[in-house]
Structure 1
Amino acid sequence: MGRWASQLCRRKPLDAMIEEVDAEEAGGLQRTMGLGQLTLIGISSVIGTGIFFVLGTGVPKAGPAVILSFVLAAVVAGLGALCYVELAGAVPVAGSTYSYAYASLGEGAAYLVAWCLVLEYGVAASTVAVSWGQYLNEVTGTLFGFTLPDAISQPPGAGGLVNVPALVVVLLCSLLLARGTRESAAVNAVMVAVKVGVLIFFAAIAFTAFDSGNFADFAPHGMAGVGLAASGVFFTYIGFDTVATASEEVRNPRRTIPLALMLTLGAVTALYILVSLAALGAQPAGRFGEQAEAGEAILAQILRDVTGAGWPALVLSAGVVVSIFSVVLVSLYGQTRIVFSMARDGLVPQVFHRVDRKRHTPVHNTWVVGVLVGGLAAFVPLQYLADLTSMGTLIAFVAVAAAVMVLRRIAPDAPRSYRVPLYPVVPVLAAVSCLYLAWLLPGVTWTLFGCWLLLAAALYLCFGRRHSALRDGPATDGHADEAAKASKESEASTADVEAGA
């Protein structure tokens, strides 16, 4: 039992993480991105993961006060972002929360956190891909008078059987990612410009029909409804932590990662509030739930109702078709880098760590992830996907807050380009607020999440602990000193003797 506890608690030293990255750099991932490209990746990952359809599920819970739900979710995300900023400066390697947890909380916790991240990024990509078919039908219906049958274009549970467009967009994004990071970043920059332009276009037109009377019954379900909606819309903020997964492909990561994180969160929050205010002012709150149940593209329908013409809705839908592609692209990017880091540590098969010598991308990793995510998007009902994304994100944020506090204790002198203000108040508030939002999620989400963690634990026991790169070494603190390094072989021999006994 003592040996198992040692395995679960062993930490990976910060120095070892950075040395591995430096050793791999020539033949591994390449540092090709700057602050602008990285911020665009963050914005791209966030905007579109829900704002184009989440009002259909958020407004019925909170009414017009869903605006406060977005603010509440932004505050919680902001607390988490401050923790990410400190850790990104101290642990500038791919893997995001997984790497932070490995350096502070130990291998067992890091493995479970990694599976929360797999859930977060993979299910987020699936969630967004699900709505691609709805907006694609808006475009083809207006231009050509043709739409795909509901059975193959709508989410399961909303009139569809197999969501073919969702599967197609995931596989196309996988193809682009496999070709190269530089190419993916360039395409993403163009798509972000389209996405932001479309949202501003929507708000400008929707505000022409603004009716303050729509806000008369502002919070019909009280603050309980606001909190419940916040737990559901929280997944729309997950993209900013994708920034941290790019640490090995960014120039000067200790400076670039923190700046990109804060710029991303600020820009996203402003746009979400703008779009929500415009949409709620343009139509009564009661219509949002009806439109969601009917599988309508809500923002496009608002423009059609406001203008009485089809072209504004067509512009929006065409923009959304492009922008949702970008969300899927960067969400898949984040997940592949998490799995890449796990494979380097031996916790998943080495096929996920192989980098193509010409393109400098983990090609096999990308295609395996793409097929799995595409399957989720094609066959799983939307609401389960959205809530599971929120759950994975919230638990990952709790781990980040805990990692900040643990690393402050075990590695107080490690280089940090930024320190969380009001320590330890901010990380404690971040953890408590995330746990509160998670507690508000439906029971079925907790059940599915529990099954997911049980699956992760089984995989760790069967594969991860046996193949871990640290399996022959002792548990170590996050910033081992020279004496600990010198006694490594002696302690490993002792552990082997105890195992034999």
Structure 2
Amino acid sequence: MRPTDVLPGQPPRARPGLRHQLLRRKPTEAFLAEAESPAGGGLRRTVGAFQLTMIGIGATVGTGIFFALNAAVPEAGPAVLVSFVIGAVAAALTALCYAELASAVPVSGSSYSYAYATLGEFAAYAVGWCLLLEYAVSGAAIAVSWGQYLNDLTQRVFGVQMPAAVSAPPGQGGCLNVPGAVLVLLCGLLLVRGARESALVNTVMVLLKLAVLGLFVTLGATGFDPAHLHPFAPMGMAGIGAAASTVFFSFIGLDAVSTAGEEVRNPRRTLPLAIIGALLAVTTVYVLVALVGVGAQPWTAFAGQEAGLSAILAKVTGAGWPGVLLSAGAVLSIVSVTLVVLYGQTRILYSMGRDGMLPAVFHRVDPRTGTPVLGTALVSGFVAVLAAVCPLDMLADLTSLGTLVAFVVVSVGVIILRRTAPGLDRGFKVPGYPVVPLLSVAFCGYLLAGLPLPTYLMFAGWLALALAVYLGYSRHRSRLP
């Protein structure tokens, strides 16, 4: 029954005004009731704390760490270690806010659901569109690069490569990126099988790529020379700050943990534990890799260096096989990130479909697999087309803007929910409240200020499209009375 429908014999109810519709909030009790009711949800709680932590690590440790030093070290020198710590602190501010909201509202949908409970319907709808932009475009962009890394691996192992026309990104020597599209479709097929199977495969891939990075740290440490750390900060604090902005986006992905709220056992405890555990693991890996990297060769050698980690190990060991392993690690990184990105997007669409914000097809769950099969198929097909035909470099800043907006909403949501629902059961509370959420907003605002004007214009166009769809479709089908 639609919100405006009435039973026979009852007087018709007045349709709520537009202002009321835009600002109405979904009670946290309704979220929790839907999550625990088979009729309202349908997703199965099959994911444990360790697998959920691996989802967070898998979404965060992508190919960036394999190549981030090449961009960050020339900006800061050996002080890039401080930049990684700053990036980790900035990520931690938002991660702590995610942990509190995830424990208080342990449902699928991530920032979309949190905004619906705190800021109102249209704010949630706009955040949902930001998340869809973040996940769809970043998923396609990641998949596009898979063909290049796969070519590098097959060249090292077998001495053969796929033609650039079908493996390089469109606009960069490629015409149709077949490997990227195939990767997305394969990940979609795996997600259809079930959350438990997908989480298991992701866990295996994450452990393998962490083992590859661990090998880099172990072997690279044999060539560590303290003299390479001097001068420590040749570019001063300005360079450290610039490098911190560069490496901050290597920490994006922790929000994927919160999209699994309805498929996690004991979510009030498991969600914050996984978010904080993933952040600690990622920070440790990044700092160790950066320390070994800048200690194994002079900082001036990083500029323009291709396949930086492989080149460092080649110098240290004098052998070519480490390059094979690191290429394999990059390939696995792309697979695991693509898998988690698709997973997160389907769960956000699932929540929006359940609320009436999008067609119900995204909310339908297969009774056999316990997954939104048709929604997953539609998402995978769309992202596969993007990966196959679109040059996505121009959308990188747009993705960052959407991500940062979602981060701001989560941080503000913590403050609002503390005021509107102080007695709500929270499995975790942000320490240092309200300083931590305010610092998170401030840091995200600092990064937002550095984005170019064309990005804001494209983002305004995206939100205008969201508003048009909301006014023409979603507000009439919202399940809120």
Q: Same fold (TM over 0.5)?
A: yes
- Name the residue aligned to 2:259: 245
| One-letter amino acid of the structure 2 residue matched with residue 271 of structure 1 | V
Q: What residue in structure 1 maps to residue 165 of structure 2?
A: 151
Which residue does the alignment assign to 2:125?
Answer: 111
1:407 offset after TM fit, Å? 0.9
Question: Per-residue deviation at 1:126?
Answer: 2.7
Partner of 1:58: 72
Match of 1:170 among 184, 192, 203: 184
Residue pairs, 1:311-326, within 5 angstroms? 311-326=321-336
1:234 aligns with 2:244: no
Quick check: 1:234–1:390 contact (8 Å CA) kept in 2? Answer: no
Contact 1:126 1:377 (C-alpha < 8 Å) held by counterparts: yes
- Write out aligned runs for 1:171-190 (5 A): 171-190=185-204
* 8 Å Cα contact 2:63-2:333 kept in structure 1: no
Residue matched to 2:62:
48
**Gap change, CA 1:410 and 1:323, over 3 Å in 2:** same
Selected match of 1:275 from 264, 289, 302: 289
Q: In the aligned structure 1, how far is the partner of 2:272 from the partner of 2:458?
A: 33
Aligned to 1:370: 380
Label 1:30 to 1:332 Cα distance change in 2 as closer, same or farther (>3 A): same
Task: State whether structure 2 residue 274 is matched by structure 1 residue 264.
Answer: no
CA separation of 1:160/1:219 partners in 2, compared to 1, >3 Å: closer, same or farther? farther
CA distance, structure 1, for counterparts of residue 465 and residue 243 of structure 2: 29
> Which residue type is aligned with residue 411 of structure 2?
A
- Which residue among 427, 438, 453 is the counterpart of 2:437? 427
Among candidates 128, 151, 156, match of residue 142 of structure 2: 128
Mapped partners of 1:303, 1:160: distance in 2:
30
2:351 matches 1:341: yes
Structure 2 residue 398 is the aligned partner of structure 1 residue 388: yes
| Partner residue in 1 for 2:313 | 303
- In structure 2, relative to structure 1, the CA distance for the partners of 1:350 and 1:287 (3 Å cut) is farther
Q: 1:28 to 1:265 in 2, by over 3 A?
A: same
- Segment drifting more, 143-152 vs 337-346: 143-152
Question: Which range moved further: 435-444 or 226-235?
Answer: 226-235
1:340 Cα deviation after fit: 0.6
CA distance in 2, matches of 1:250, 1:109: 26
SS at match of 2:462: helix
8 Å CA contact 1:205, 1:303 repeated in 2? yes
Q: Say whether 1:412 aligns with 2:422.
A: yes
Question: Are 2:114 and 2:410, in contact at CA under 8 Å, matched by a contact in 1?
Answer: yes
**How far is 1:302 from its partner?**
3.1
Q: CA deviation at 1:102?
A: 0.1
Aligned-residue offset at 1:165: 2.0
What TM-score results when the alignment is normalised by the length of structure 1?
Answer: 0.87
Q: Extract unaligned runs of 5+ from structure 1.
A: 474-501
User: Could you give the per-residue CA deviations for residues 160-202 of structure 1, whole angstroms, max 9, x where no partner exists?
Assistant: 4443322221111111101111111111121111011000111
How far 1:239 moved relative to its partner? 2.1
Which position in structure 1 is the counterpart of 2:342? 332
Q: What's the counterpart of residue 18 of structure 1?
A: 32
The 1:444–1:67 alpha-carbon spacing in structure 2 relative to 1, beyond 3 Å, is farther
Asked if 1 retains the 8 angstrom alpha-carbon contact of 2:176 and 2:389, the reply is yes
User: 1:167/1:52 Cα in 2 relative to 1: closer, same or farther (>3 Å)?
Assistant: farther
Which secondary structure state, in structure 2, belongs to the residue aligned with residue 98 of structure 1? helix
Flag the 1:458–1:372 CA change in 2: closer, same or farther, 3 A.
Answer: same
Change (3 A) 1:43 1:426: same
Q: Decide whether the 8 Å contact of 2:23 with 2:122 is kept in 1.
A: yes
| CA separation of 1:353 and 1:456: change in aligned 2, threshold 3 A | same
SS in 2 for 1:457: helix
* Cα distance, 1:379 vs structure 2: 4.2
Provide the rounded CA distance (Å) in 2 between the counterparts of 1:467 and 1:92.
24
SS at match of 1:31: coil
Instruction: State the 1:336 CA deviation.
Output: 0.8
Paired residue type of 2:147:
G
* 3-state SS of paired residue (1:51): helix
What do the CA deviations read for 1:53-82 (whole angstroms, capped 9, x no partner)? 333443444444433332222111111111
| C-alpha contact 2:115 2:410 (8 A) present in aligned 1 | yes
Is the Cα–Cα contact under 8 Å of residues 63 and 330 in structure 2 kept in the other structure?
no
Q: Tell me the alpha carbon deviations over residues 190-228 of structure 1, each in whole angstroms, 9 at most, x when there is no partner.
A: 111101100011122223333445444554554344333
Give distance in 2, aligned partners of 1:270 and 1:112: 34
1:292-345 CA-partner distances (Å, limit 9, x unpaired): xxxx43323333343332211112212322232111111111111011100001
Residue pair 1:304, 1:313 contacting (<8 A) in 2 also: yes
Q: Residues 370-426 of structure 1, C-alpha deviation per residue, up to 9 Å, x if partnerless?
A: 222233334444644543333222211110111111111111111112222222111
Deviation of residue 159 (structure 1)?
Answer: 4.1
Q: Distance in 2 between matches of 1:98 and 1:33?
A: 21
The equivalent residue for 1:398 is 408
Give the direction of change, closer, same or farther, for the CA distance of 1:462–1:115 in structure 2 (3 Å limit). same
Offset from partner CA, 1:429-469 (integer Å, 9 cap, x none): 11111111121233443333333323222222222222211
Contact preservation (8 Å) 1:49, 1:127:
no
What does the per-residue CA deviation read over 1:8-43, in whole Å, with 9 as the maximum and x for residues that have no partner?
Answer: 101001111111122226971101111111111111
SS in 1 for 2:62: coil
Q: TM-score, length-normalised on structure 2?
A: 0.90
Q: Taking structure 1 as reference, are residues 202 and 309 closer, same or farther at Cα in structure 2, changes over 3 Å only? A: same
- Name the counterpart of 1:494: none
Q: What is the alpha-carbon distance in structure 2 between the residues aligned to residue 31 and residue 312 of structure 1?
A: 40
Q: SS state of the match for residue 280, structure 2?
A: helix
Larger CA deviation: 173-182 vs 150-159? 150-159
The code of the aligned residue for 2:282 comes to: V
Partner of 1:442: 452
With 128-137 and 427-436 compared, the bigger mean Cα shift is at 128-137
1:350 and 2:364 aligned? no
Does residue 1:73 correspond to 2:83, yes or no? Answer: no
CA distance in 1, matches of 2:183, 2:328: 14
Q: Does 1:140 align with 2:154?
A: yes
Q: Is the contact made by 1:64 and 1:218 (CA closer than 8 Å) also made in structure 2?
A: yes
User: Percent of aligned pairs with the same residue?
Assistant: 57
1:361 paired with 2:371, answer yes
1:156 and 1:441, CA in 2 relative to 1: closer, same or farther beyond 3 A?
Answer: farther
